[in-house]
Amino acid sequence: MRDNMLRMECKLRAEVKGNTLYGHAAVFNQRAYIPQERTHEELSDTAFDDVLANPSTDARALMNHDPTLLLGRQSSKTLRLTTDTEGLEFEVDLPDTALGRDVRVLLERGDLDGASFGWLPGKVDRVAIPGGTLQRHTSISRLLDVSVVTFPAYAGAGARLRHESIGTGNRSRLIRARHAVRFIKEGSGS
């Protein structure tokens, strides 16, 4: 089953509020080129509806998709997943462990700047486009993880560590594909 698992990665944007990391692990309606398959793909705004409505979904928050580097889990309510108009939004309470503290420090310094998600495809619409094929994922069958990653494959989503001084009105801002991102230092606005 893991042979069919797909991972889509994106840039990470960080802010701090306690130990909560949040943002988007996936964005809707943005094309990404998958060189090994010589195809383009994108996620429709319905891609996560079924999997998030399924009570048996129990995704993990990981570092670099490594199951030994656990940051949170849906069933323990330390990982929360929803969708909004931008994409798959996640929020994880970083643990008070060496790994949790390391992730926080790396985010604060701007060294860690990637996010990703691991999933199994569901329904896919394939359309011929100039230069190849577009695979539009209208659903996914299983969401395995959301991860902070060292080497993101492509930009397209934002994630943040919350600052105490920033209100929830600034919760999510999409970082568009292939744009540079910057780290927001503690206490600054955006």
pLDDT digits (tens, 9 = 90+) for 110-150: 888 778 889 999 999 999 998 889 999 999 999 999 988 87
Q: Which of 88, 106, 105, 89 is nearest to 150 (CA)?
A: 106
Question: Is residue 188 a part of any domain in this protein?
Answer: no
Q: Where in the sequence is the domain holding 156, given as residue range(s)?
A: 2-166
Question: Is residue 42 a part of any domain in this protein?
Answer: yes
Task: Average the pLDDT over 84-96 and give the result.
Answer: 91
Eight-state DSSP code of residue 17 = S
pLDDT digits (tens, 9 = 90+) for 163-175: 433 222 222 222 2
Alpha carbons 12 and 110: distance in angstroms, whole number? 9
Question: Is residue 172 a part of any domain in this protein?
Answer: no
Report the SS3 class of residue 11.
strand
Q: Which of 125, 133, 132, 114 is nearest to 44 (CA)?
A: 125
pLDDT digits (tens, 9 = 90+) for 23-80: 778 888 888 877 777 888 899 999 999 999 999 999 999 998 999 999 999 999 999 9
Residue 156 pLDDT greater than 70, yes or no: no
Q: Are strands 20-27 and 87-93 parallel, antiparallel or unpaired?
A: antiparallel
Res 80: pLDDT: 96
Question: Is residue 181 a part of any domain in this protein?
Answer: no
Question: Is residue 24 a part of any domain in this protein?
Answer: yes
Question: At 161, is the pLDDT very low, low, confident or very high (cuts 50, 70, 90)?
Answer: low
Tokens representing 105 are: 């420090």
Question: At 5, is the pLDDT very low, low, confident or very high (cuts 50, 70, 90)?
Answer: low
| Residues near 18 by beta carbon (within 8 Å), at least 6 away in sequence | 162, 164
Alpha carbons 169 and 151: distance in angstroms, whole number? 30
Res 6: pLDDT: 54
Question: Is residue 184 a part of any domain in this protein?
Answer: no
HSE value, Cβ hemisphere, 13 Å, CA-based, for 32: 24
Q: How many domains does the chain have?
A: 1
Question: Is residue 187 a part of any domain in this protein?
Answer: no
Res 63: pLDDT: 94
Question: Is residue 173 a part of any domain in this protein?
Answer: no
